[in-house]
Structure 1
Amino acid sequence: MESVKFEPKLFINRELSWLEFNKRVLEESEDESNPLLERLKFIAIFFTNLDEFFMIRVAGLKKQVEAGINKPSFDGLTPREQLKKISRKTRELLRQTEKDYNTLLGLLKSEGIRIYKYRELPKRLKRKADSYFEEFVFPILTPLAVDLTHPFPHLPSLSFNIIVEMLSRELRFGIIPVPKVLPRFVKLEEGSYVYLEDLIINNVQELFPQQRIREATTFRVTRDADIVIQEDEADDLLEEVEKGLRKRRFGKPVRLEISGGTELTLSYLKDELELLDEDIYPMKIPLNLSDLWKLYREIDRPDLKFPPHVPYYPPQFEVEVFSAVKSRDSVLFHPYESFDPVVELVEEAAEDPNVLAIKQTLYRVGRNSPIVEALSRAAQNGKEVTAVVELKARFDEESNIVWAKKLEEDGVHVVYGVPGLKTHAKLLMIVRKEENGIKRYVHLGTGNYNVETAKIYSDVSFLTADDTVGEDVSRIFNVITGYFHPPSLKKLYMSPINLKEKIVSLIREEAELGEEGRIVAKMNSLVDPEVISELYRASRKGVKIDLIVRGICCLRPGIKGVSENIRVISIVGKYLEHARIFYFRRGDRVFISSADWMPRNFHRRVEALVQIEDKKCKEKLKKILEIQLKDTAKARILQSDGTYVRYEKRDFNSQEYLERWVREFSL
């Protein structure tokens, strides 16, 4: 087979591609077709995303630099070069965010919603604000002096603080943590809010009496949050993760955000936190704007939010759920279709006297999960229940520890996966005694067993009672809970065993068709350089390739002689595109998977890939891909230089269309 050289110029840097994704999120705050409060919410999402990016990705690069690692990534950039480009690109995005946020404040004002700075408050509201400060804020504030006897405090990651510069020799600085227990946006009356930090700064003299204050300004520290777990040395993985969580709050600083401040203040924080100039991000708008989520939820203005969508409940599940699954394979597309049938399957299994066992993987299930409750009830009802809990699901570790302990207390066999691997596969198996013997009922998904995110993440559920699929899932559970070895599977493919090998073989088989070949792949991220190289080879053979990649994409489309037959689009809109669906024309094959095409999914996680064989299920998934490829409203087209452009005529929103379409496409 003709090969493409593994040249750095053929690949987009992963971190810069991620920043381009967050830029697309920011663009949604600028899109006038979105309701006003939804635009504000996209600002919150942008900042939440950026926090996680610095805590994990930037922190990782900084550790490489400190370790003296100069080896470039497959796109040719060294860790040091990546950090410089990240700093430059982030500043560009923050400048745009400042404009966008100020624009939205003006639009909110015209709708009768105003977020005041303290100095802007009319006298009537100023009296209310002062009263609120005296009654609720002042009693819980803890001003911290910083001098010879009071060292610089060890501030937790993402904590929001005020630094006060004094004009005295005895005390030069003081720090006031902004309390999390109070609303960030203090409501003074309907539609009128003031920033909590402004209230504190305006009353800062009360906190440092008899001190001459030069300036008070807000700042925020981001720390390395990547927990390193030595699983091979840990006697108790749960205990080891708990230790890691405690360390995370005080990891090494990687970023300082500050709104103003004198040169002396800036220099002082830089030295205390041991940061470089490129790590410091001055802001002209309030810090910590991920808190806009809270404001979005509080303001009851349905006219300024997306119209609520009621997920369609497929009629085949209106009968007893086991009968529905047994009668035929089903594919559900959430959130357009309800996640309730999946929940009901577990809940009915918990109470059904014929159910003998339930096995399920749990990655991110959220709070107050009906699925976790059902598993507990099943164990209490005497069934064999096994939950494979992924303690290392990033930023969900604490939540997972809490309900893992609860499950164990209720009699569930809790397994913490395979050492060295994250269990990311979405698998549910129910073993039921029936007239003709044992029957397995299976759910395989692309998303988490989380009823809340199932309302806003687009994901696929596959429900089947196919005996061979059931046997494969049973084997996968056995290798997760027992001795990990390559299982003999007939219809499923598994990372880190053979999932990547299968993807590569499918692309190669399509390449053999030349111009008759066709690949459509939908996923969150495309990073793996070997898979990208295979796609380049297929493109050179004439295969037409369409990729729907929401986030990171390291493939460069449109390169003459390499990738001119490849188109990449990213859809960012009302729902978070999370499904993984793969179509190959040869053999008319359609697959769904929990795995993106990334090295971590192929090599460092337990993942599953399954072929969808039922004709109607296949047609449904193919139609979903077809609909999304027509999107012109929320789709952006990846250019060969790594940037994205929007369609000039934005007249088809695939997400809005799918809300209606699922009711028409009946299985």
Structure 2
Amino acid sequence: MGEGKPKVDLKSPKLYINRELSWLEFNRRVLEEAQDKTNPLLERLKFIAIFFTNLDEFFMIRVAGLKKMVSAGINKPSFDGLTPKEQLKKISRKTRELLKETEKTYKELLTLLKKEGIHIYTYRELPSRLKKKADKYFKEFIFPVLTPLAVDLTHPFPHLPSLSFNIIVEMIGEELRFGLVPIPKVLPRFVELEEGKFVYLEEVIVNHLKELFPQQEIRSYATFKVTRDADIVIQEDEADDLLEAIEKGLRNRKFGEPVRLEINGGSELTISLLKDELELGEDDIYRMRIPLKLSDLWSLYKQVDRPDLKFTPYVPYYPPQFEVEVFTALKNSSSILFHPYESFDPIVELIEEAAEDPNVLAIKQTLYRVGRNSPIVEALSKAAQKGKEVTAVVELKARFDEESNIVWARKLEEDGVHVVYGVPGLKTHGKLLMIVRKEEGKIKRYVHIGTGNYNVETAKVYSDVSYLTSDETIGRDVSRIFNVITGYFHPPELKKLYISPVNLKEKVLSLIENERERIVAKMNSLVDPEVIQALYRASQRGVKVELLVRGICCLRPGIEGISENIKVISIVGKYLEHARIFFFQGQDEVYISSADWMPRNFHRRVETLTPIEEPKLKEKLKEILEIQLKDTAKARILQPDGTYTRPKKRDFNSQEYFERWVREYSL
């Protein structure tokens, strides 16, 4: 800052973008991938499914949280200056804008699919031969599983689970009556009548309503979906058994307070009934002109066998150094793997080898989101059965994975694994694996530290970094972290690693404050106001700050005198950018982390920040960052007003480049 210039208040709300509105901008970028003509047609359809899946979770958690604040009379603005009530208004307005765009995009995609011989019909559009097939399907498969429900004086409005999909029917009799038909989840949403010829399940049901409500005069009908508050609040200090408390929370989740009604069709009387029964206001109602629950397009994407309309399948590169036993590969040198471009198999093989190896004494691992049929869980079970000391830190509170994690936890316990449910009041989000092996009469620790989950399926589509090492100091640090997670949590004495909620944030702030040249930071979300202020101060010192932030970013770049030296890029494409990599050029320090720069990661989670010191590995991570900064095909550049623009020339796709690059850059 020059002499005589007024001091800027870096805490001013004007310098921050609202978190929720920034998230909606991220979902707009997902929608843009559905609109992008360079993407294969079925991939564009899949991005529509991702858009709606994202939106469901956003309403179930973020909107539900704001509504609870309004109900509790909380008017305190967030650090960007918006009160909960103001945020809800802006969310409603922006969501409607996005839905209008989505309706248009979806209709365009249906037309393009027809040209490719893939038809998604309404019942009325069906040719007569296909109508006969649809009627037969209704009689044989749909009708037996339907449960039509009357809604009148003697039949109260049923309690509908969150995200359940229903048909509501308005009938005229001596008095007004309504009927409900829950659309069964056990049947395919897109009914294939002939190859490439589909009809919406609800369309078939709607055209047989008279068989479900005989002797009734049907006046109108509508499809609708209710979204409920899905946040599970666990009073851990009051819970006798965390597992039981979360199981109870899962049961309650289906019937939380309604936060949104989506409806297609129906009279004002029908909408009025639903509004009253669900106790929702006009701002909570979204009238749709395309089919609801299009998150189900995932299933259509999988059903249609048209490789020509999908991304070319990519086979991850298997680095040659792991063609020997993994322990041999890591004994004298560390390794960085860049997924999904480089295979996740060496990590799976490391655990599988450890389970069989008679020299392995103990395995300790954190499990946040594991996925189904996990070979990692199987290997941990096998190791325990073979008499090894196996500890699994299973995070039961991983949102929307609670049920799956409870199943794994029980299975692991039955097989003799020491299962720990993390630290009270914190989520264990750090990705750590430690294998203790006896070698030449001594103990040697092999460690894996990742930015992503131990999930072999998401490892194929999430862009993440794995650090594999037998470095003694890091091994001791990881050992101490496991001890404080499984014992009574206290700040451990660590030599190289930093952890939340102890000292990770302080280290990040210190690195930013001490930098005098350039910062390149890649993460999913940037929300923490103190970190943003530190980045503003760095920019004011003349430090070049380049941020690769896929999702939420509350920092405003390009403001004169404050953030003109900051550039923010978001890359949304074929792979989900998930890695956290940080480079501080003046200090020549490179770190990977499980943590985004958000208050929850700094204060309410157990996270790790790991220095990468080996020169070759540092160079590999630096090059990954430099390549991503050059992206023009899938990059969007954040503007000071919170919107994103695309480069004029879109000629370099970093994700496509990495598919070739890893084969040339194998370490």
**Alignment partner, residue 562 of structure 1:** 562
2:521/2:548 contact within 8 Å kept: yes
Q: Does 1:112 align with 2:117?
A: yes
The amino acid of 1:626's aligned partner reads E
Amino acid in structure 1 at the alignment position of 2:392: A
- For the residues of structure 2 that align with 1:125 and 1:227, how far apart are their CA atoms? 45
Within the candidate set 231, 251, 276, 2:281 is matched to 276
1:346 partner letter: I
Residue 533 of structure 2 is matched in structure 1 by 533
Partner deviation per Cα, 1:151-209 (whole Å, 9 max, x = no partner): 00000000000000001234510100000000000000001000000000000010000
Is 1:316 aligned to residue 321 of structure 2?
A: yes
Equivalence for 1:60:
65
Matched, 1:125 2:130: yes
| Aligned residue in 1 for 2:4 | none
**CA distance in structure 2 between the partners assigned to 1:566 and 1:188 by the alignment:** 54
Q: Is the 8 A contact 1:146 1:175 kept in 2?
A: yes
- Residues in 2 aligned to 1:176 and 1:77: alpha-carbon distance in whole angstroms: 40
Distance 2:173 2:151 in 1: 12
Q: Deviations over 1:384-433 (max 9, x none)?
A: 00000000000000000001000000000000000000000000000000
Give the letter for the 1:209 counterpart: P
In the alignment, structure 1 residue 295 sits paired with structure 2 residue 293? no
Secondary structure of residue in 2 paired with 1:182: coil
Q: How many residues align?
A: 662
Residues 152 and 178 of structure 2 are in contact (CA less than 8 Å); yes or no, is this contact kept in structure 1?
yes
Query: Residue 420 of structure 1: SS of its match in structure 2?
Result: coil
Per-residue Cα deviation, 1:233-282 (whole angstroms, up to 9, x for no partner): 11110000000000000000000000011010011100000000000000
Deviates most, 56-65 or 433-442: 433-442
- Partner of 2:124, secondary structure, is helix
Which of 29, 51, 55 lines up with 1:46 in the alignment?
51
- What letter matches 2:662 in structure 1? V
Match of 2:485 among 460, 473, 480: 480
Determine if the alignment matches structure 1 residue 401 to structure 2 residue 406.
yes
- Secondary structure of 1:118's partner? coil
Cα separation, 1, equivalents of 2:175 and 2:202: 26
The one-letter amino acid of 1:618's match is K
Pairing 1:144–2:149 present: yes
State the secondary structure of the residue aligned to 1:609. strand
Determine the structure 2 residue equivalent to 1:648.
648
Q: Deviations over 1:596-646 (max 9, x none)?
A: 000000000000000000111000000000000000000000000000001
Q: Which residue of 2 aligns with 1:627?
A: 627
Q: Tell me the secondary structure at the aligned position of residue 641 of structure 1.
A: coil
Distance 1:4 1:458 in 2: 37
1:78 aligns with 2:83: yes
Partner of residue 512 from structure 2, selected from 507, 511, 517: 507
Which of these residues, 312, 325, 331, is aligned with residue 330 of structure 2? Answer: 325
Match of 1:413 among 414, 418, 424: 418
Residue aligning to 1:175: 180
Give yes or no for contact 1:4–1:536 (8 Å, CA) kept in 2: no
Q: Structure 2 unaligned runs (5+)?
A: 2-6
Residue 639 (structure 1) aligns with: 639
Q: Is the 8 A contact 1:15 1:57 kept in 2?
A: yes
Q: For residues 421-448 of structure 1, give each alpha carbon's deviation from its aligned partner in whole angstroms, at most 9, with x where no partner exists.
A: 0000000000000105000000000000
Write the letter of the residue equivalent to 2:665.
F
2:453 maps to which of 448, 457, 466: 448
Please tell me the root mean square deviation across aligned C-alpha atoms, in Å: 0.8
Q: Counterpart of 1:6?
A: 11
CA distance in 2, matches of 1:498, 1:200: 58
Pairing 1:217-296 to 2, within 5 Å after superposition: 217-296=222-301
Please state how far the C-alpha of 1:216 moved relative to its aligned partner.
1.3
CA distance in 2, matches of 1:543, 1:261: 58
Cα deviation, 1:356-407, whole Å, max 9, x if unaligned, reads: 0000000000000000000000000000000000000000000000010000
Which deviations, in whole Å up to 9, do the C-alpha atoms of 1:538-595 show, x marking residues without a partner?
A: 0000000000000000000000100000000000000000000000012311000000
Output aligned runs, 1:544-563, within 5 Å: 544-563=544-563
Matched, 1:357 2:395: no
1:19 to 13, 18, 24: 24
In structure 1, distance between residues paired with 2:364 and 2:545 = 37
- C-alpha displacement of 1:666: 1.7
The answer on whether the counterparts of 1:145 and 1:171 sit within 8 Å (CA) in structure 2 is no
Q: Deviations over 1:130-155 (max 9, x none)?
A: 00001100111000000111100000
State the 1:5 CA deviation.
2.8
Q: Whole-Å Cα distance in 2 between the matches of residues 539 and 329 of structure 1? A: 34
Q: 2:39 aligns with which of 34, 41, 48?
A: 34
Letter paired with 2:339: H
Task: Report if the CA contact (8 A) 2:36-2:44 is conserved.
Answer: yes
Task: Find the partner of 1:387 among 386, 392, 405.
Answer: 392
Q: In the alignment, what sits opposite 2:593?
A: 593
In structure 2, the residue matched to 1:348 is: 353
Letter of the 2:471 partner, please give it.
D
1:199 maps to which of 182, 201, 204:
204
* Counterpart position of 2:613: 613
- Map Cα deviations across residues 477-507 of structure 1 (whole Å, 9 max, x no partner): 0000001100000000000000000000000
CA distance in 2, matches of 1:587, 1:214: 72
CA displacement at 1:3 relative to structure 2: 7.1
TM-score in terms of structure 1 length: 0.99
CA distance 1:4–1:317, shift in 2 (3 Å)? farther
Q: Does 1:460 align with 2:482?
A: no
8 A Cα contact 1:146 1:171, kept in partner: no
Q: 2:10 touches 2:536 (CA, 8 Å); kept in 1? A: no
Distance across 2 between alignment mates of 1:427 and 1:9: 39
Q: Is the 8 A contact 1:59 1:224 kept in 2?
A: yes
1:209 pairs with 2:221: no
Partner of 1:119: helix, strand, or coil? Answer: coil
Structure 1: 5+ residue stretches without partners: none
> How far apart, in 1, do the equivalents of 2:170 and 2:419 lie?
52
Cα deviation code 1:56-77 (max 9, x no counterpart): 0000000000000000000000
User: How big is the shift at 1:325?
Assistant: 1.2
Moved over 4 A (4+): 1-4
- Which string of whole-angstrom CA distances, capped at 9 and with x for unpartnered residues, describes residues 450-494 of structure 1? 000000000000000000000000000000000110000000000
Deviation at 1:326, TM superposition (A): 1.3
Structure 1 residue 331, shift from structure 2 partner? 0.2
CA contact (8 A) 2:547 2:569 kept: yes
Provide the rounded CA distance (Å) in 2 between the counterparts of 1:651 and 1:557: 24
Residues of 1 paired with 2:47 and 2:484: CA distance?
Answer: 41
CA distance in 1, matches of 2:311, 2:9: 46
Q: Which residue type is aligned with residue 338 of structure 1?
A: S
